[in-house]
Chain A
């Protein structure tokens, strides 16, 4: 290590930055970012989270003191062992909870960060999928000496499956490869290639050292060749899912509220789009509609409610709409689905049983399943499916479901907030699997033909021919495709968007 580096480490160690006295007491932070960390202990995950907490957060002094006093050093250095800040969580791992996710909170001057920590050891698929379903952004950690591995591919596939759009590849332990740009560029290129397969909007690789703090919160003087953002800079810029919710209005009704007089309000949270007083809203299940006359909250009525806001809508007519309905506009409504296909992460230790009597949980509805078949299993490394009739814990199953009655469901790729599902055991109530709808049909029997597929090459040669392969343009590609699908569906055409093909990324399949 250079003298220069030692110097910097010394300085960082002595002057751990702390938040200043807050001038404005009701300091409300500009938003919440849920951050998933994926990687194994060997990749330095605990050290990286610990370093983030140490350098960037409003950690209490007693917690800092514990680390200083312990005398524990990061392996091979004279620096405090920052992974200690995660110790409490690690110890709790022994409780044997079926699905382990630990939540940790910290504030920077502008944002709240929620660290969702799921164990990276074996059998991690369901843990990670469960944690990732809450994440706005994921940090995928790799050791600079090992680069992109088989596990990295699986991580990316799980993130994509549950709808994470922002991914950071943290290339850790750059100190152990002599801060080499060549090493980093090679890993970055592998990562780029890997990400072509998925629907990420933003995939960024950052070279760093969690132990020494390079590019975590402070730019690295050891890697002057790197001009990109530090990890914390990049995280602070990353939008949350709710702020990126689409423009299509969805309002799953949770309950009906009455004040004992003339108020009858539909209580719920706007999950995407927005609604304003005067809008006509529709329940796709009953086809009932009404005009919004009041958007009520205890803090006063609103003129408009947007994604993320919990309100009560009063309509001009007394329609028979209750829990389970999803309000929308008439032009772009969810499907009153009788049959659907979905990808499920199998969470339960109990394998699939066609006679178990599952229920399907949608946004706010719970519907009996009249028939469920497993069509195949998804291979997370190749993204190819193979035929299967059964599945078990940690599998990604492709299932075809017929419902006992219609439920309002969206295709996840287009309107993710109302395209998520749970399989529930009707006897024990247990959550068996979590999944995303890939196609939904109002008809009782899905037609074998007549399912119109929006092909990627057709879209690329026509509608999207002005777009490049940049992350921004790829996001735009999907946005346009989704809009076309929504319009076609509104016109009564059963439609699906062709999924991204498995790309020959030139990587050694044995990696």
Chain B
């Protein structure tokens, strides 16, 4: 750190403070690891927070079985190289029921294979705290999220039970059956994440860099054919395009952008000058905003 700390120095120190507060106050924490750029930064911050000690909690990846193959390879290599305690959990019951992101609405797929799977995994291992990489700048509904976000028994988020947070005091005392989600990167922005990756020379999944990849254009969005499960429909065809991803998730639900940014420097330059916010690339959000609400009202769930 230089004499006058930069905004990245300050954000890093704040995140380290949050990691340490949570690790000290909760009995059995876990870090949610989704392999993307935010998780990469989160993991790096966790390592800094406890250096020279090893990260004192396991990582949990909720695998929907629909992640890009490059992501899984990256995940396994990172766990090996950094000596991490990695837990991979899949909702096999949901898979057996045939839930998938191609035939089902993204919201259903997400609910069963991500949300339900996460709750199952947290219950199975008895974790009382889960670190996540969510940021308040991601969307309006996150703008009011706490650093310590409390969940009632059954993982229910009760707005009346959210605790005010004052100064740097993080109150982690749990009521009976309560658990907590901890967001050390609450105050980071998308641009900070990329700047930090560049500054700290962090390795990220190659999908963030432009390359010729097999694609299908569907509903105006560019999808990558990562394996044979995604097939062109009538009028669609598989074409090679030079694409990259601004955000990573399940491959049939993640839109690519055409880009020539092949290096981390080019990606950062493109991001800093971007004219659209990153969530535009997530099909799942578009689906959820209206459709999910409607399904709820119809009593679908």
A residues with CB within 8 A of B: 21-22, 25-32, 58, 60-63, 87-89, 91-92, 95-105, 107, 111-112, 114, 126, 129-130, 133-134, 162, 242-243, 254-255, 257-260, 263, 265, 267-269, 271, 296-299, 302, 308-310, 312, 323, 347, 359, 361, 363-364, 366, 417, 420-422, 424, 426-431, 434
Are B160 and A98 interface neighbours, CB within 8 A? Answer: yes
Are B273 and A309 interface neighbours, CB within 8 A? Answer: no
Q: How far is the CB of B172 from chain A (nearest CB, A)?
A: 8
Q: How far is the CB of A12 from chain B (nearest CB, A)?
A: 20
Q: List 17 A-B contacts (CB under 8 A).
A: A25-B269, A26-B195, A26-B268, A27-B272, A31-B10, A60-B277, A61-B276, A92-B144, A95-B159, A97-B144, A98-B159, A101-B144, A107-B189, A126-B164, A298-B48, A298-B52, A429-B171
- Tell me the nearest residue of chain A to B278, going by C-beta: A60
Query: Given A25-B198, A62-B280 in contact, is the A134-B13 Cβ separation under 8 Å?
Result: no
- Residue from A25, A96, A309, A430 within 8 A of B1 (CB atoms): A309
Number of B positions contacting A (CB below 8 A): 64
Query: Given A130-B164, A430-B175 in contact, is the A89-B275 Cβ separation under 8 Å?
Result: no
Are A32 and B175 interface neighbours, CB within 8 A? Answer: no
Are A89 and B143 interface neighbours, CB within 8 A? Answer: yes
Name the B residues within 8 Å of A263 (CB-CB).
52
Are B52 and A25 interface neighbours, CB within 8 A? Answer: no
Q: How far is the CB of A463 from chain B (nearest CB, A)?
A: 30
Name the A residues within 8 Å of B13 (CB-CB).
269, 308-310
B residues with CB within 8 A of A: 1, 4-13, 16-17, 20-21, 23-24, 47-53, 136-137, 139-141, 143-144, 159-169, 171, 173-175, 178, 186-187, 189, 191, 195, 198-199, 265, 268-269, 272-277, 280
Are B187 and A88 interface neighbours, CB within 8 A? Answer: no
Query: Given A25-B195, A28-B195, A31-B7 in contact, is the A257-B171 Cβ separation under 8 Å?
Result: no
Are B274 and A60 interface neighbours, CB within 8 A? Answer: yes
A contact face: mostly helix, strand, loop, or mixed:
mixed
- Tell me the nearest residue of chain B to A255, going by C-beta: B24
12 other A-B residue contacts (CB within 8 Å) besides A96-B159, A431-B165: A21-B269, A26-B195, A27-B195, A28-B8, A28-B9, A30-B7, A61-B276, A98-B160, A130-B165, A268-B20, A364-B24, A422-B171
Are A359 and B173 interface neighbours, CB within 8 A? Answer: yes
Q: How far is the CB of A94 from chain B (nearest CB, A)?
A: 10
Are A255 and B20 interface neighbours, CB within 8 A? Answer: yes
Give the docked Cα–Cα distance between A404 and B157 (Å): 34
Q: How far is the CB of B272 from chain A (nearest CB, A)?
A: 5
Name the B residues within 8 Å of A111 (CB-CB).
7
Are A104 and B165 interface neighbours, CB within 8 A? Answer: no
Q: How far is the CB of A96 from chain B (nearest CB, A)?
A: 5
User: What 7 A-B pairs are tightest by C-beta distance, nearest first?
Assistant: A88-B140, A61-B275, A28-B6, A429-B173, A298-B51, A434-B166, A310-B16
